[in-house]
Amino acid sequence: MTNAFPPSLGQRFLNLPTALYHPIQAEPLPNPTLLHWNEPVAELADIQRGEIDPHKLAAYLAGNQSWPGSTPCASVYAGHQFGYFVPQLGDGRALLLGDRNGWELQLKGSGRTPWSRAGDGRAVLRSSLREYLCSEAMHGLGVPTTRALSLIGSPLPVWRETEETAAVVLRMSPSFIRFGHFEWLSHHKQTATLRTLADFVITHHFPSWQTHPERYARLFAEITRLTAHLMAHWQSVGFTHGVMNTDNMSILGLTLDYGPFGFLDTYQADFVCNHTDAHGRYAYDQQPDVGAWNLTRLAQAMVSLVSSDELKAILDTYPSQFATHYIQLMSRRLGLKPARQHTGVILGLLELMQSNQLDYHGFFRDLCAFDTTPDAKNHALRDQCRQREQFDQWAAQWRHALTEDGVSDADRRGIMLRHNPKYILRNHLAEEIIHEVRDRHNTEVLNDIIRVLHAPFDEHPDLARWAAPPPAGTRIELSCSS
């Protein structure tokens, strides 16, 4: 199908009651410039840029020009932020343009909305680059996530900790509905609208349940399953979100709202990527429990649709669903058949990494070359450990598990190379890319980094520098403005 740019958009979100949104136009962004266009994401929504003039293209992607069929709107929701309920939040700097081919298109950084509070409604290039890149990095790793279609820059000054310049990301998702939408309606006792919202989610994402008498219980059960799987994915790839408020939780189990995120470098179970999280509420090792806590808040919001006993019974399945999926993911990283008897091998490796301060991603990738023959010393791996006897004990345990599984060495290496990435969007690399794009005006670097992030398990010998671990002593602090 051939389409002129911009294509026409649908407006399914506007079929919901107006209590959930407010139509508003984007604030014009001066001198918008297209910094990157993500062709694979454009193909998902059947969007073709064609031969459109680059300046006109940038105007549409910044929100300066209206798309056919679009009535931009911002939505309202509530949320628990760092454990405390905030009764009214909302899209303070985001606008939903509409939907196409099953994907909703949303501008982030497009100006003030009724829910901007004291904010300016803008996003800066630094944080926009981080979201743009990490959306695609997570997709490349196989982690459920929103996607990023385009990145627009502008000379417009925006003040955060210092003066920076503005940017707009056009991001896409099957849905941007959050736990907080249900919380807002529940708090305001809009029971009928809450039911309408649940029906909307079911109609567009789980249509086979539309007439099922237990459809709302099924919906909550599916959100629980998807959230458990998302937490397992995050833990497996060493990702820390940084701000796991309920208003940042997707009802489709997608990674949503990239702010002060961080991938592990040296393995540290209690790693906190957000320096404003003084008490470590959203530390790496706390994320699975926070997922359960957030689901409990959603259950409280849905009690008008599902009995509290049913909701509790569903919530009780969360720990086992998380554990099962986490073991599956981690077993693949070790070339093992997914099975609960491998829990000891997995936990033993994490203890080895913690006590020897090993690089989480580098050590996993190095393990792909492990020699499984009984007398092999694996010096290259062993010498990374200060406690070499601990490595020997764990390696023997791993060899035994591989033997029990009957996995050939060639198959084991192949499985591991497909599940242990060479390329990770570590914070020092994100900072380097920000410097290249923002300070040196080098946008070509984005083509290279997107290439490795879309295929992080491949070697890419011409781009191997992006696989480098952080220099010794590197410490990058991130805040909610990141």
On whether the CB atoms of residues 424 and 361 are closer than 8 A, the answer is yes
- Return left, alpha or beta for 16; rule: phi > 0 is left, psi -120 to 50 is alpha, else beta: beta
Q: Is the dihedral of CA 448, 452, 458, 461 positive or negative?
A: positive
Residues 331, 327: Cα–Cα separation, whole Å: 6
Q: Would you say 124 and 167 are in contact if contact means Cβ atoms under 8 Å apart?
A: yes
Residue identified by tokens 């549409």 is 60
> Is residue 458 annotated as a catalytic residue, yes or no?
no
Percent composition of the chain: helix, strand, coil (DSSP 3-state, to 5): 45, 15, 40
Per DSSP, which regions of 109-220 are E strands? Answer: 123-124, 147-159, 163-173
32/479 Cα distance (integer angstroms) = 26
Three-state DSSP class for residue 278: coil
Please name which of 253, 232, 241 lies closest in space to residue 298, comparing C-alpha atoms: 253
Distance CA(413)–CA(5), nearest Å, equals 45
Q: Can you spell out the DSSP letters for 52-88?
A: --HHHHHHHHHTSSPPTT---EEE---EEETTEEES-
Residue 163, strand partner residues: 159
469: which DSSP letter?
P
Q: Which of 478, 430, 276, 263 is nearest to 359 (CA)?
A: 263
Of 158, 88, 90, the residue nearest 128 (C-alpha):
158
User: Active-site residue among 247, 265, 359, 405?
Assistant: 247
Asked if omega into 6 is within 30° of 0 (cis), the reply is: yes
94 strand-pairing partners = 108
In sequence order, which residues have a C-beta less than 8 Å from that of residue 36 and are 6 or more positions away?
132, 150, 151, 443, 446, 447, 450
Structure tokens at 149: 């279609």
Active site residues: 247
